[in-house]
């Protein structure tokens, strides 16, 4: 490409920083530039164009006053000086709208928000394509590079002993959930319609009445309805159209910044898709599927495209499939199976449809998620086996902290399930909470700042094991208010703290996180995505420095974990430990769930 001579001139009494940036950008590309001092007359600028034989002139105007008169005159002068036809003239600045520039006869107008790359493209006579890298987002494996080596050998030993106990306990035990998952698999893998019908009958027999009546008489649960075929085909059209104009932003400013997940579950898979596509466009890297809470208390899944009037989107093969089909190829997709009576089938469906990640945690699911500890343990082992089979890493979420369980107890449970996952050939991801938890509210670790205790959690986990960490869920939980600026700022700062601590992933909320009066909106999602992007940009490679409290608390948490694990081992049985409150007690705020109590089936071989 031919090197250009570019004259940059401010039509203002003061200098425009934008011109200086563009000058630097042009020089880096090898062009000759000349930056005029500010407050030169228009005639003087015209003369400089002639004297320097410039090919291109970029003028800037930041003041809005009289802008049309001044800019119109500049073009007139260029024309009267008979240089208009041999030079290209661009105009930029705060006062410039592209339409105004066009109306006044400029070749291009750059308003606020113009990038240096855009101006360079104009100079080089290229069509501007927003940052070439943006379109090429890669799907990141957040477990890559971790070998799960335990630095704390004492903890490892304790975990191994507990996991031995779990595997021993679940041996020769099954549940209807495990059986349903097996039948579902055969339904999905069969192409024989009569066999499928037979299997559906078998399946329905293993379900609660509300689900059974769907299979038997086609009745839908209250507050759910099937989506019509016109809705289904319109969705496809919508997604195709949206995909044709997708050019997603990137949130990360450097490689150190974690991948960013958003959580969805509006109740309607189609609204979910609309939200996910917008989040993808604004730079999210992944999406987490939330199912309705009643789904976790009900034995069995429905079939078909089903919408739901309340929070959480119903899990069916069709719903999940339509969501998966709508995702950008680079979007990480997680389907949660951390609680409830359908965890094996959830992971099976997720795996069959091509999810990237799932979520399993027996301790949280039974202490904070309402599922019976024994039932969930048996189901979880089956679920983790599916996760291993479909090569889906799973996170071990520690949301029991939100019930009031102290971090060290929640972490003990998380490490047990993680070790169980490793033993079953899966890849666990640690998910500590970045939150203003009841524990710290009472004990005061966050009285001064939100940094130290969150940092302590990461220091502690890194000290124990070399494993991926994904902060959740969502980060900043209970620090946000209904005010969107405050809410977005809290999310963004927690995101940067996570980044500073070198974590691999984060789940972020919308700025509607604290609002409970209705469904969240897409603008609220964009708020926090933009805030996170801005925060990553702000901190770059620099770090947030916790006080010495962080290291002290990290040591305390680690000691606490050891003690909890020792007492689980002493107690002899993980499931019993859950019932007894060793991993979170009633006093803490944790209650062993009752859904699926006494539903484990003993098998005799």
Partner 1 sequence: MSLIIGIAGTAKNTGKTTTTSSILDELYNKKILIGLTSIGYDGEETDNITGLPKPRLFVKKNTLLATAEKCLKAGSADYDILETTDIMTPLGRICIVRVHKEGLAVVAGPNKGSQLKYVENKMINELNCKVVLVDGALNRIAPMIETDGVIIATGASRNVNIDILVKETKALHELLNLPEVSKEELQYFTDISKIALIPKKIHEKTSFLNYGSLIGNDIVKEIIDKIKCAETVFIPALISEFALKKLNDGLGTLWANKTLIIKDPIKLITGGNPETLINEIKKIKFNGGNVKTLKNLPLLAITVNPFYPKYRFDIDSYEPGYIDREELVDKMRASVDVPIIDIKHEGSLRLLKSILNLVQP
Partner 2 sequence: MSILDKIMDAIDLETYLVCKDEDEAEKLTKELMEKFGFKDISIVFIQHQGPGARVRARGYIYKPGDRYGWLFKQSY
Give residues in contact with partner 2 (CB under 8 A).
242, 245-249, 274, 277-278, 280-282, 521-523, 526
Residue nearer to partner 1 on the CB measure, 100 or 355: 100
Cβ proximity to partner 2, 111 vs 589, nearer residue = 111
- The residue range among 42-50, 405-413, 478-486, 556-564 that interacts with partner 1, by the rule CB under 8 A, is 42-50
Distance CA 6, CA 165 (A): 75
92/248 with CB nearer partner 2:
248
Question: With CB cut-offs between 5 and 8 Å by kind, which of partner 2, partner 1, none does residue 201 bind?
Answer: none
Contact flags string 52-81 toward partner 1, x per CB under 8 A? ----------------xx-xxx-xxx-xxx
Task: Give yes or no for residue 17 binding partner 1 (CB under 8 A).
Answer: no
86 binds partner 1 (CB under 8 A): no
Shortest Å distance, C-beta 123 to partner 1: 17
Instruction: Give the Cα separation of 532 and 510 in Å (integer).
Output: 11
Nearer to partner 1, 99 or 482 (CB): 99
Binding segment (CB under 8 A) for partner 1, from list 45-53, 119-127, 130-138, 360-368:
45-53
Residue among 521 and 585 whose Cβ is closer to partner 2: 521
- Smallest CA-to-CA distance from 330 within 288, 285, 287, 289 is with 285
3 state DSSP class of 454 = helix
User: With respect to partner 2, which residue has the nearer C-beta, 188 or 249?
Assistant: 249
Q: Which does 75 bind (CB under 5 to 8 A by kind): partner 1, partner 2, none?
A: partner 1
Q: How far is the CB of 246 from partner 2 (least distance, A)?
A: 4
DSSP string over 502-540: T-SEEEE--TTTT--SS---HHHHHHHHHHHHHHHHHHT
**Quick check: 371 and 340 in contact, CB under 8 A?**
yes
For residue 233, what are the CA distances in angstroms to 76, 240, 280, 557? Answer: 55, 11, 22, 52
Neighbours of 16 (CB within 10 A): 23
User: Which of partner 2, partner 1, none lies near 191, with the C-beta cut-off 5 to 8 A by kind?
Assistant: none
**Looking at beta carbons only, is 91 or 569 nearer to partner 1?**
91
Stretch that binds partner 1, among 44-52, 292-300, 485-493, 510-518 (CB under 8 A): 44-52
DSSP secondary structure string for all residues of 36-76: PPTT--HHHHHHHHHHHT-SEEEEE----TTHHHHHHHHHH
Contact predicate 377/362, CB 8 Å: yes
245 binds, among partner 2, partner 1, none (CB under 5 to 8 A by kind): partner 2
Interface with partner 1, residue 87, by CB under 8 A? no
Q: How far is the CB of 118 from partner 2 (least distance, A)?
A: 14
265, 289 Cβ separation under 8 angstroms:
yes
**Pick from 503, 447, 448: nearest CA to 475:** 503
Shortest separation between residue 62's beta carbon and partner 2, angstroms: 18
The binding track of 95-134 with respect to partner 1, each residue x by CB under 8 A or -, is ---xxxxxxxx---x-------------------------
Tell me which residue of 459, 437, 447 sits closest to 561, measured CA to CA. Answer: 459
d(CA 529, CA 389): 33
Alpha carbon of 502 to those of 458, 468, 524: distances in Å? 9, 10, 27
- CB nearer partner 2, residue 179 or residue 491: 491
Nearer Cβ to partner 2 (276/568): 276
Nearer to partner 2, 129 or 441 (CB): 129
Choose between 95 and 403: whose C-beta lies nearer to partner 1: 95
Q: How far apart are CA 87 and CA 4, in angstroms?
A: 11
Q: How far is CA 373 from CA 259, 308, 385, in A?
A: 32, 28, 18
Least distance from partner 2 to the Cβ atom of residue 487, Å:
14
The interface partner of residue 21, options being partner 2, partner 1, none and the CB cut-off 5 to 8 Å by kind, is none
C-alpha torsion sign, points 468, 471, 473, 474 = negative
Pairing of β 5-10 and β 32-35 = parallel
Closest approach of partner 2 to the CB of residue 406, in Å: 40
* DSSP at 461: H
**Binding string, residues 268-287; x marks residues near partner 1 by CB under 8 A:** --------------------
CB–CB of 352/387 below 8 Å? no
- Nearest-approach distance from CB 90 to partner 1, in angstroms: 12
Q: Which run of H or of E encompasses 359?
A: strand 357-359
Angle between helix 176-189 and helix 373-389 axes, rounded to 10 deg: 30
* Of 284 and 346, CB closest to partner 2: 284
Rounded to the nearest whole angstrom, what is the least distance from the CB of residue 561 to partner 2 in the complex? 43
| Bridge partner list, 336 | 359
Closest Cα to residue 475, out of 255, 256, 252, 259?
A: 259
SS3 category, 2: coil
Residue 234, binding choice from partner 2, partner 1, none, Cβ under 5 to 8 Å by partner class = none
Which residue's CB is nearer to partner 2, number 248 or number 393?
248
**Contacted entry of partner 2, partner 1, none for residue 321, CB cut-off 5 to 8 Å set by kind:** none
Residues 191-220 that bind partner 1 (CB under 8 A): none
Q: Which of 513, 519, 448, 502 is nearest to 479 (CA)?
A: 513
For partner 2, the closer of residues 277 and 324 by Cβ is 277
Pick the closest to residue 516 from 473, 481, 474, 477 (CA basis). 481
Residue 116: is it exposed, middle or buried by C-beta count within 10 angstroms (0-12/13-18/19+)? middle
If binding means CB under 8 A, how many residues of this protein chain bind partner 1? 29
Classify residue 595 by its DSSP letter. B
Residue 85 binds what, of partner 1, partner 2, none (CB under 5 to 8 Å, by partner type)? partner 1
Q: Of partner 2, partner 1, none, which one sits near residue 103, judging by CB under 5 to 8 A according to partner kind? A: partner 1
Q: Which does 521 bind (CB under 5 to 8 A by kind): partner 1, partner 2, none?
A: partner 2
d(CA 559, CA 546): 20
**What tokens were used for 302?**
């429905």
Residue 409 binding target from partner 1, partner 2, none, CB below 5 to 8 Å by type = none
Closest CA to 389 of 204, 190, 596, 181: 181
Site stretch for partner 1 (CB under 8 A), options 56-64, 93-101, 199-207, 462-470: 93-101
Positions in the binding site for partner 1 (CB under 8 A) = 41, 43-44, 46-47, 50, 68-69, 71-73, 75-77, 79-82, 84-85, 98-105, 109
């Amino acid at each position: 490409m031919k090197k250009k001579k570019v004259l940059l001139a401010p039509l203002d009494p003061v200098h425009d920083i934008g011109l200086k940036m563009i000058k630097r950008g042009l020089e880096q590309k090898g062009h000759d530039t000349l930056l005029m001092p500010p407050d030169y007359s228009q005639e003087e600028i015209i003369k400089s164009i002639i004297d320097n034989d410039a090919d291109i002139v970029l003028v800037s105007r930041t003041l809005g006053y009289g802008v049309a008169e001044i800019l119109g005159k500049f073009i007139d002068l260029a024309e009267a000086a008979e240089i208009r036809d041999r030079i290209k003239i661009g105009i930029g600045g705060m006062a410039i709208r592209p339409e105004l520039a066009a109306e006044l006869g400029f070749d291009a107008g750059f308003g606020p928000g113009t990038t240096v790359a855009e101006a360079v493209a104009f100079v080089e006579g290229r069509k501007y394509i927003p940052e070439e890298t943006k379109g090429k987002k890669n799907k990141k494996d957040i477990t890559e590079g971790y070998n799960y080596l335990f630095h704390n050998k004492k903890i490892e030993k304790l975990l191994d002993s507990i996991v031995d106990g779990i595997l021993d306990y679940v041996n020769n035990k099954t549940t209807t959930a495990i059986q349903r998952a097996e039948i579902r698999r055969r339904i999905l893998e069969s192409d024989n319609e009569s066999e499928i019908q037979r299997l559906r009958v078998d399946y329905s027999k293993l379900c609660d009445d509300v689900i059974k009546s769907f299979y038997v008489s086609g009745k839908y649960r209250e507050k759910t309805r099937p989506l019509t075929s016109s809705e289904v085909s319109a969705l496809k059209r919508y997604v195709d159209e949206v995909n044709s104009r997708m050019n997603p932003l990137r949130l990360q400013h450097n490689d150190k910044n974690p991948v960013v997940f958003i959580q969805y579950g509006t109740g309607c898979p189609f609204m979910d898709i609309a939200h996910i596509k917008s989040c993808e466009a604004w730079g999210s890297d992944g999406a987490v599927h939330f199912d309705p809470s009643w789904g976790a208390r009900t034995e069995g899944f429905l079939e078909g495209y089903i919408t739901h009037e309340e929070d959480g989107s119903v899990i069916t093969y069709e719903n999940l499939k339509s969501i998966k089909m709508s995702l950008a190829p680079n979007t990480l997709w997680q389907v949660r199976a951390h609680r409830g009576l359908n965890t094996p089938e959830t992971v099976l469906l997720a795996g069959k449809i091509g999810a990237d990640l799932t979520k399993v945690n027996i301790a949280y699911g039974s202490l904070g998620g309402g599922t019976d500890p024994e039932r969930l343990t048996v189901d979880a082992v089956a679920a983790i086996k599916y996760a291993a089979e479909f090569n889906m890493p799973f996170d071990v979420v520690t949301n029991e902290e939100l019930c009031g369980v102290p971090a060290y107890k929640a972490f003990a449970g998380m490490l047990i399930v993680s070790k169980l996952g490793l033993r079953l050939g899966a890849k666990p991801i640690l998910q500590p909470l970045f939150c203003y938890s009841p524990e710290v509210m009472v004990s005061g670790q966050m009285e001064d700042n939100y940094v130290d205790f969150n940092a302590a959690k990461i220091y502690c986990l890194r000290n124990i094991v070399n494993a991926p960490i994904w902060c959740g869920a969502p980060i900043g939980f209970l620090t946000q208010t209904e005010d969107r600026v405050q809410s977005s700022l809290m999310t963004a700062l927690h995101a940067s703290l996570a980044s500073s601590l070198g974590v691999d992933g984060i789940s972020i909320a919308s700025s509607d996180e604290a609002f409970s009066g209705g469904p969240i909106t897409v603008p609220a999602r964009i708020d926090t995505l933009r805030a996170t992007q801005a925060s990553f940009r702000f901190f770059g490679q620099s770090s947030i420095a916790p006080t010495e409290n962080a290291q002290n608390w990290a040591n305390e948490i680690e000691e606490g974990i050891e003690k909890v694990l020792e007492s689980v081992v002493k107690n002899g049985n993980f499931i019993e430990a859950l019932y007894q409150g060793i991993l979170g007690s009633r006093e803490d705020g944790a209650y062993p769930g009752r859904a699926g109590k006494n539903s484990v089936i003993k098998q005799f071989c």
